[in-house]
Amino acid sequence: MKQTKDLHANLKLAFLAGIMTVVFVLASLANAQTYTTLYAYPEDTRNDTGIGLAGLMTQGQDGNLYGTIGDDGSNAAGSAFKMTTAGQFTRIYSFCSQPSCADGSGPWGGLTLNTDGNLYGTTTTGGKSAAGTVFKLTPNGTLTTLWSFDNGTDAGAPWYPPFQGLDGKLYGVSNTVYNGDYGAFIRLTPTKTPPDTEKVLVDFNYTNGNDPNLPTQGTDGNFYGTAVSGGTKGLGVVYKITTAGKIIVLHNFVGYPSDGTYPLGALVEGNDGDFYGVTYQGGANNIGAIFKITRSGTFTLLHSFASSGTTLDGAYPRSGLILGSDGNLYGTTLHGGKANDGALYEITPEGAVTILYSLCSLKGCADGFSTATPLTQHTNGKFYGSTSGNSLGGSYFYSLDLGLKPFAKLVNWSAKDGAKIEILGQGFTGATGVSFNGVAASFNNVSDTYMTATVPVGALTGPVTVTTFTSTLTSDRNFLVTPQVTSFSPASGVVGTVISITGVSLTQTTGVTIGGKAASFTVNSDSNVTATVPAGAKTGATITISTAGGTASSKAKLVIVPSIASFTPTSGPVGTSVTITGNSFTGTNKVTFGGIVATSYKAINDTQVDALVPTGAATGPIAVTTAGGTGTSTTSFTVTQ
């Protein structure tokens, strides 16, 4: 059995009947942290169960948190639940409620929120072939099976829930696929129910990873993730998958003591554009580490856990990090802390670690122990999570209050001018304004915890703010306003020609490329940029504009005409070798002297063509022809006898 499944199985613990609330304030730090147990998960009447240990909790449009439990419920096959921030638990669905478990069994991964307001998840078994399912669940508990894996021609045993990509499609991973037992990166297109398309985009082959964790989509549109094992040393990898489905291994873990071993949990993108993650083992003390990696693969080991002796630190981080609204990263460890029963910690992007709370700090571990689920930050500013056990063998739902302010959470964080985006928060019935980095937008405060806004004309990439009668809520991440290129003029030109580019959301332009080369440019308005065709630009290529919100390319292709600046010698008889200088000579297919075609010529580079004066040549201009057109000299070559 694979490493993650072993860990999951070993960590399943029983639930505790009843509700217990414990508040513990750790005042030794500069700012007091308040840890509160809000709910003790009950022992199911049919099964001694455990919390879904890899499960992601997600905030719904109603302000409640939603998650899954792997093996409880009326059929002992797992359930989905709703939890209020005050700790009121409601089971909304029990799996294996349909004949032959057609609705799935074992929802260990948790849930994610889609822009349709529904929750999405997976089951590891059940479905039509007992290989797992992908499902949609409404907040009131109506389940639709979107896909049943067959573990043959598609994939199977998905451990993590799918997430909605920037293109609106669902992406996720499975643990097995027909070409091997190493896992797969998959895409579903839910254009109808059930979806009409399921596609394996990447079939892991051990060399590029084995047993992938849930990836995350970066602000550049690519997908970044880790695989628990595989790679050159068998100790795991960090990978990037492009939107076209090409996988690139960014880092192979080499293990203790210089590197991590067995990366678990999802990567998270920091505000600096780098990605952060953890390894379950490895590091200087072989009890886990925290790392960051750039998009190009530059790896930095930020912290090696060192929970030994009097050192207050975590050990064996089982879940990935999350990005807090303050720009720092937060996580949990399975062991370590004061009692070696787990800890909650913070790490800055620079690598400074602070233990925020040590579990089992109260008598009889009345505050729980061994947390293995990732934290979730609610828009009220507090963090929430679940422990793997407590003093009676059950699991607690808890909150951690660090004094962070309430904020607005963007459900979709990249779109074009005019698109509708969704925002989670609180106090929205008192909303008086929404702005995109200072540009006012129209909005609809649907409820106190959910609103929509329309990306306005002239919107700027940056934070979204929601103003109410009593406060201002700022988004936890920047919204990326996607630029658009609609046209350009003229349609052709030589190097040095000024091109007028028309589009949308161009104010924050940071770069322009024409024919694959960087061009100098001027931003004239949100809808117009002018750029100069640079030397070396290739004909038949698009014009691309880069902004703080992304990139956009023209549909039409610019025709770049060659141009002749000079030639030497300026005169000579038939057979003279003439060096012609200028621009855009790559791909030269004809040279003429006074209209007579040269039979011997060669484009030395983009700025030089050499040719012999042909028989029959007459005094007149020299012309060079490429796929982009013909460039003619302004002076004549004189043919002598």
For residues 55 and 67, is the Cβ–Cβ distance under 8 A?
yes
Order the strands of the 590-593 sheet from edge to edge. 571-572, 629-639, 620-626, 590-593, 596-597
Rounded to whole angstroms, how far apart are CA atoms 107 and 10?
Answer: 17
Q: Is the pLDDT of residue 583 over 50?
A: yes
| 289-293 and 299-304 beta bridge pairing | antiparallel
Q: What is the pLDDT of residues 88-142, one digit of tens each?
A: 999 999 999 999 999 999 999 999 999 999 999 999 999 988 889 999 999 999 9
Average pLDDT, the chain: 89
Query: What are the CA-CA distances from residue 216 to residues 165, 171, 283, 330, 577 (Å)?
Result: 9, 9, 24, 16, 59
Cα atoms in the Cβ-side hemisphere of radius 13 Å centred on 432: 6
Question: Residue 71's pLDDT band (boundaries 50, 70, 90)?
Answer: confident
Give the pLDDT score at 180: 62
pLDDT at 5: 40
The pLDDT of residue 369: 85
For residue 567, pLDDT over 50 is answered with yes
Mean pLDDT, rounded, for 333-360: 93
Q: Mean per-residue pLDDT for 46-69?
A: 74
Q: Provide CB contacts within 8 A for 583, sequence distance 6+.
A: 494, 495, 496, 535, 536, 562, 563, 565, 606, 607
Could you report the per-residue pLDDT of 268-318, keeping only the tens digit for each? Answer: 999 999 999 999 999 999 999 999 999 999 999 999 999 766 668 999 998
Res 4 pLDDT > 50: no
Residue 107 Cα to chain centre, angstroms: 23
Instruction: Name which of 59-63, 230-234, 304-308 the model is least confident about.
Output: 304-308
Mapped onto helix, strand or coil, the DSSP state of residue 11 is helix
pLDDT digits (tens, 9 = 90+) for 364-390: 788 888 887 899 999 999 999 998 764
Query: Is-same-fold flag (409-481; 561-639)?
Result: yes
- Give the number of other Cβ atoms within 10 Å of residue 474's Cβ: 14
What is the rounded CA–CA span in Å between residue 334 and residue 387?
9
* pLDDT > 70 in the chain, percent: 89
100-109: per-residue pLDDT in tens?
A: 999 999 999 9
Average pLDDT estimate for 415-419:
95
Q: Which homologous superfamily is 483-559 in?
A: Immunoglobulins (2.60.40.10)
Check pLDDT > 80 for residue 29: no
Give the percent of the chain with pLDDT over 90.
75
Read off the pLDDT band of 16 (50, 70, 90): very low
> Does residue 50 register a pLDDT over 60?
no
Q: Report residue 178's pLDDT band, with 50, 70 and 90 as the boundaries.
A: low
Q: Looking at residues 551-557, what average pLDDT do you find?
A: 95
pLDDT of 391 reads 47
pLDDT at 25 over 80: no
How far apart are the C-alpha atoms of 97 and 194, rounded to whole Å? 19
Can you identify the CATH homologous superfamily of domain 409-481? Immunoglobulins (2.60.40.10)
Residue 571 in this model has a pLDDT that exceeds 50: yes
**What value does the mean pLDDT take over residues 614-621?**
96
For residue 177, what pLDDT is reported? 60
pLDDT of residue 256: 93
Average pLDDT value for residue range 467-472: 96
pLDDT for residue 596: 97
Please, which pLDDT band fits residue 394 given cuts at 50, 70 and 90?
low
Strand partners of residue 502: 487, 528
User: Amino acid identity, residue 519?
Assistant: A
**CA–CA dist 641, 636 (Å, integer):** 16
Residue 393 pLDDT more than 80? no
Residues 6 or more apart whose Cβ sits within 8 Å of residue 373 = 51, 52, 53, 54, 55, 56, 57, 110, 319, 332, 385, 386, 388
| Cα separations in angstroms, 54 against 323, 373, 455, 461, 625 | 18, 5, 35, 34, 63
pLDDT band at residue 13 under the 50/70/90 scheme: very low
pLDDT at res. 27: 36
pLDDT score at 188: 87
CATH code of domain 62-213: 2.120.10.30
Give me the residue spans of the domains in the chain. Answer: 62-213, 409-481, 483-559, 561-639
Residues in Cβ contact with 174 at an 8 Å cutoff, skipping those fewer than 6 apart: 132, 149, 155, 156, 157, 158, 159, 183, 184, 186
12 pLDDT exceeds 70?
Answer: no
Cα–Cα distance measured from residue 589 to residue 628, given in angstroms and rounded to the nearest whole number:
11
Q: Name the CATH topology of 561-639.
A: Immunoglobulin-like (2.60.40)
